[in-house]
Chain A
Amino acid sequence: MSEKVLMKGNEALAEAAIAAGCKHFFGYPITPQNELTAHMSKRLPKIGGTYLQAESEVAAINMVLGASAAGVRAMTSSSSPGISLKSEGLSYLAGSDLPAVIVNVQRAGPGLGGIQPSQADYWQATRAAGHGDFKLLVFAPSTVQEMVDLTGDAFALGDKYRMPAIMLSDGILGQMMEPVVMPKDSIARIPERPWAACGHGDKREHNVINSLYIEPPVLEAVIKARFEKYRLIEEKEQRCEEYLTDDADIVIVAYGASARISRSAVNAARKEGIKAGLIRPITLWPFPTKAIISRIGNAKTFLCVEMSMGQMVDDVRLIVNGKRDVRFFGRTGGMVPTPAEVLGELKKIKGGI
């Protein structure tokens, strides 16, 4: 394995994409993801790749679609307002069964919102990324090392299942510096793409990349087949980390930067004799349903901590389905919850148990 290096989250993610064999990047400037585009613009020309600053996020995601259709690994990155513009492209990628990695270094919304970190795009990533019936793989890193590791997974699983994957990061993780181990370039095993539109070379029938199915029964069948694939992914690809949940009365559910804060709160609570634990979803879709279900036995209360007005909490409530109390604590607008605030919530719950 390689040595540890100190890197900013955004740069580490960019470098991990290159290690995963991604040589085509199309972006558009927006804070707080600018280190990522800057890093790509520095590195890609040196390795025979393409860095292209597009005229808009709409164009950038469509360039990614083209590169992916042509058979190469491609990525774009942006932050919340730019991801809204990528909606159309995400829907077309999904409808055309194309892999691609889309990074959202979330900032506060709605509208121009603010440039401080946020987790208010959970619904957008997991429910409403664009029009139509489709899902995206959604990864939620919580350390710089995970920015690296999950980027490799996003490319690999995107290729495996022929679908786009979102890296749902935020301004804290993007800007944070931590020591990381970078994967070796040689690990990039890019699978064959026999379906790609790369010129048939007079050797096969023409390939068509398309999302249009004008006959309703045909389109329904295509979507149903895709949902069968989604069901398989929900079965096989759920990921989360559990921390002190075995005997926990109160189980916090938090991802990304909120999970880091919640973990500190769990440690502080344990010192005060409160049996708290943490489930940290690593995949937001597929959501780690099984882990939540397995804790309905011992947990009396679930507490979701998010940097939003409460979005992931919907998923937890759906899973818990009224069997346990599900509470929410969050800050929004670019405000970050403190461990002390989360501890305060745990104490309130403990008082009521």
Chain B
Amino acid sequence: MGEITKGTVQEQARRIFICAGSGCISSGSRQVADKLQQALDEAGLNQTVPITMTGCHGFCEQGPIVVIAPDDVFYCRVQPEDAVTLVEQHLVQGQLVESLLYRDSQTGERAKSAHDIGFYAKQQRIVLRNCGTIDPEQIDDYLAREGYQGLARALTMTPEAVIEEVKRSGLRGRGGAGFPTGLKWSFAAGAPGEKKYLVCNGDEGDPGAFMDRSLLEGDPHSVIEGMVIAAYAIGAQAGYAYIRAEYPLAIQRMQIAIDQARARGYLGESVMGTDFAFDLQIKAGAGAFVCGEETALLASIEGERGMPRVRPPYPAIKGLWGYPTNINNVETFGSVPYILRAGADAYAAVGTEKSKGTKVFALTGKVKNTGLVEVPMGLSLREIVFGIGEGIQQDRPFKAVQIGGPSGGCLPAALLDVPVDYDSLIAAGAMMGSGGLVVLDDTTCMVDLARFFLSFTQRESCGKCTPCREGTKRMLEILERITQGEGSMDDIIALERLAGVIKSTSLCGLGQTAPNPVLTTLRYFREEYEAHILEERCPAGVCKALTKFAIVPDKCVGCTACARVCPIHCISGAPKKVHTIDRSRCIGCGQCAGKCRFAAVVRA
């Protein structure tokens, strides 16, 4: 499929790119591809217009996405029924199919290509540059886009010089903590050991994040190239790509890429004809969030329960099976080929003084444009949420962004101008984390969200150390009490005290960061906690125990829909007459509000 068939120059340039990222596949892109192929066959164009299945374009909200070259016309929400029109009108008659072009929600104007869409215009794609433009299952597509040239250059340098280059680029680890990558490599390079290992962390357990998945699915060779460069720099002979089992497509594409790289001599006994040898295999994770923590991950590769070990010794000194091991995140490795190809200075020119380069975020939640975005470090939250994301769905009020997942925090509107870099986020009480960015509006309850994260960390705590195992449980109990309307002001003091102890005494990052969602919501949304405790009221109307419903008489037409759905039959009223809810019996399940077509049921 990836081959460009011979033809006239104009015909050669025509190519259909269909997104085969997980998002678009679930929106039906495979069916669209089948129908397009059929339509091409029928129009006699199957020899001249090849179809390429690509990785994620990032704009999952608008999937399935189809891009047609030349001119990269960007069609979105394409359905199988549209295939014939696309072929007839676009390819045969040379006319744009207006109805499938992206329509700007503000101006109502149609955009012809990705560059004309606000979502893409403010992004800068270094790591994701190939996602959506190549067939991830064809190494030749990668090679045609300067693939493996970073490795070629690295192999002409000494390992020390490669490390120096990465240090100068300012690249910091994208797995969460932001440790300088070049420095980390120099530790493993300098550690004595007859064998050394290299590990790629593709566990991506942070709920609300899918950056690593998209990169592995969309451009696996860039991760492999980064790993081979790192292996050369530190002197590793063997490597593992640890990918969570929930990502079957990522595992499959990575395996294909590894096999192709080996067949072409980018992996194996003699990498690119030199006497440097390195090979790579995949380990599928078995489902445990804590396995994203580096020492737990190593235990898991060794076939043990994935429990963290005490550091030091750090993996760079004593890692996999006791040998020096360097472990980096998928996106970290994905940034390396560019640094070696274009040079450290080119990379360091992007970003802020202390956070260089770009960061990929999974922009999700209540924002209009959800999807995967890559931005230069230092862009403000406002530019991400209101620029790229184009604001809140249904133009509701913005409330907060949750950044950094279960280790991160919630930042309010007042902090929208904070630049997104490692240090500014830490100062605000959150952290970069792996790159999940969940946008919240006024219908999200911050106490409930804190409870949600604690229930996650409590469940995922491996149980090895007491502060994390017991402490998260106690914090969760308190939060549950508050969301049930049974909290007291002493509970807030207890939460803060527990948080301090857990942060300072837990064994690994899971416990050390677990209180962050509670602490940031207490810091920026304390009044919501107080409303739950003092007024027994959930301002966002989320906490069921504190929410009751009522019917606005003027709006009720007496359709009986609400009375029929109410599970405890507390709604009364005759057909075509105004209904009423017995407040004392209402359990706040909200099913009536969901059924009402006249917006007559409100929280009260």
Do A and B interact? no
